[in-house]
Amino acid sequence: MARIVMKFGGTSVADIDRIRNVARHVKREVDCGHEVAVVVSAMAGKTNELVELTRAASPMHDAREYDAIVASGELVSAGLLAIVLQSMGVDARSWQGWQIPVKTDNAHGAARIAEINGERLIERFGIGQVAVIAGFQGVAPDNRVSTLGRGGSDTSAVAIAAAVNADRCDIYTDVDGVYTTDPRIEPKATRLAKVSFEEMLEMASLGAKVLQVRSVELAMVHGVRTFVRSSFDEPYAPGMDDFDNPPGTLICDEEEIVEKQNVTGIAYTRDEAQISLRRVQDRPGVSAAIFGPLADAGINVDMIVQNVSGDGKFTDMTFTIPSGDVDKALLALEKIKDEVGYEAVQSETGLVKVSVIGIGMRSHAGVAAIAFRALAEKGINIRAITTSEIKISILIDGPYCELAVRTLHDVYGLDKL
């Protein structure tokens, strides 16, 4: 017998028929003798509907009331799934975030989990009851409901799995695992059997939509073995009850992966923008003077390239941000023009960041050179490059995105994994 937390996203609980399908997945694990908790998202489209209603009521609204409204979507899903499970003979009860409780900070709309006490859930395991938990929500220090931001149900599930010492956390979604790249761009993309926490964290932060970044961070910190699985697989198909090797992708510690590939996957992020400050006075503190105000404005700066003039008096500073933040960034930079002393600012949108990811890079030289050569042969110009131990990110023009992804996927032989 094992302890499992199962999480189902919005498309998995989109209507009553799909909720019944989810219930069959849950019942399979219960019939195998496992202790089960389930975390659910709102039904597909419901959160967007609630957000629009809130904005229609008032564009400038109280964040606490926003949370009270948008958190209701998960309550409906949890209650409906509990009812369906009961009709199938499974002892189940729905739970709201505050009932556990999932304690968060006071950042309404984008709260972070501070603490979860799993004792009440563990008591329910003891009597054979399935806890169906509304994801995405908790209770803030002001004793009001709080929400964790988009994709927060993934974070809820992993955090609850850590709190109850679950043997694993199964994230059910509309795809059957983590792929070497987006199958919509590269049909030869293959499903990975295992991915390390670090690789998944890079993939999630660099454009892969399978898991929320914060959920992967939590899983890595607490060592929560996490499976990405499809809720649309037949619940009682052969192998679905194989605890050690269910269908899907296991996200785990690096030590569990025997064969470490040089490259595990290719991720990409569209709608990147590049901003360049020309002839900035090159002096101590100038970088802080530029990037401090951008950080204060909530702008996430990624790639940074600095070119110093021959006489050492001036520098060109180029960096990337999400395209949606360009106007906000230009406004922040205009306010510090006199302090920084740049002569001109230029911006360009519609760029793409393509990233090569793999823990095998740590011990293998030449991985970056392969990428640069392959892209050059396809006539793709590289605007900027950043690297880490397990990642190479390359900024290119938007129209070359699909060609670059397919080229890199092919040159590293990812279709043969």
Q: When comparing pLDDT for 182 and 310, which is higher?
A: 182
Share of residues in the chain with pLDDT > 90 (%): 74
Can you give the residue ranges of every domain in the chain?
3-254, 265-416
> Residue 393: its pLDDT value, please?
93
The DSSP H or E segment spanning 277 is: strand 265-281
pLDDT at 350 over 80: yes
- On the CB side of 117, CA atoms within 13 Å amount to 9
Please state, rounded to an integer, the average pLDDT across all residues of the chain.
92
- Looking at residue 290, what DSSP letter applies? H
Q: What are phi and psi for residue 393, nearest 5 degrees? A: -115, 135
Whether residue 309 is predicted with pLDDT greater than 70 in this model: the reply is no
182 contacts: CB under 8 Å, gap ≥ 6: 189, 208, 268, 405
pLDDT at 363 over 80: no
Q: Which of helix, strand or coil describes residue 192?
A: coil
Partners of 385 in beta bridges: 394
Q: Can you give the pLDDT at residue 414?
A: 92
Q: In what order do the strands lie in the sheet with 194-196?
A: 92-95, 130-134, 35-40, 3-8, 168-173, 226-230, 249-252, 194-196
Q: Is the Cβ–Cβ distance between 256 and 194 less than 8 Å? A: yes
Distances, alpha carbon 81 to alpha carbons 94, 180, 365, in Å: 8, 33, 51
E strand or H helix at 30, and its extent? helix 16-31
- Binding region: 7-10, 47, 74, 173-174, 179, 184, 209-210
Looking from the CA of 155 toward its CB, the CA atoms found within 13 Å total 25
Q: Does the pLDDT value for residue 228 go beyond 90? A: yes
**In this predicted model, which residue has the larger pLDDT, 113 or 238?**
113
- For the annotated binding site for ATP, the residues are 7-10, 173-174, 179, 184, 209-210
pLDDT tier at 118, thresholds 50, 70, 90:
very high
Instruction: In whole angstroms, give the CA distance from residue 122 to residue 129.
Output: 10
Q: What pLDDT, in 10s, does the model give residues 67-79?
A: 999 999 999 999 9
Supply the pLDDT for residue 310. 62
265-416: CATH number: 3.30.2130.10
**Mind listing the pLDDT tens digit for each residue in 252-277?**
998 888 777 889 999 999 989 999 99
Asked if residue 1 has pLDDT above 90, the reply is no
Class for domain 3-254, per CATH?
alpha beta
Q: Can you tell me the mean pLDDT for 206-234? A: 90
CB 359 within 8 A of CB 413: no
Query: Would you say residue 366 has pLDDT above 90?
Result: no
pTM of the model: 0.87
pLDDT digits (tens, 9 = 90+) for 17-72: 999 999 999 999 999 999 999 999 999 999 999 999 999 999 889 999 999 999 99
- Please give the backbone phi and psi of residue 375, each rounded to the nearest 5 degrees, phi first: -70, -35
Q: How confident is the model at residue 182 (pLDDT cuts 50, 70, 90)?
A: very high
Binding residues for substrate are 47, 74
Of 44, 414, 75, 82, the C-alpha closest to 231 is 44
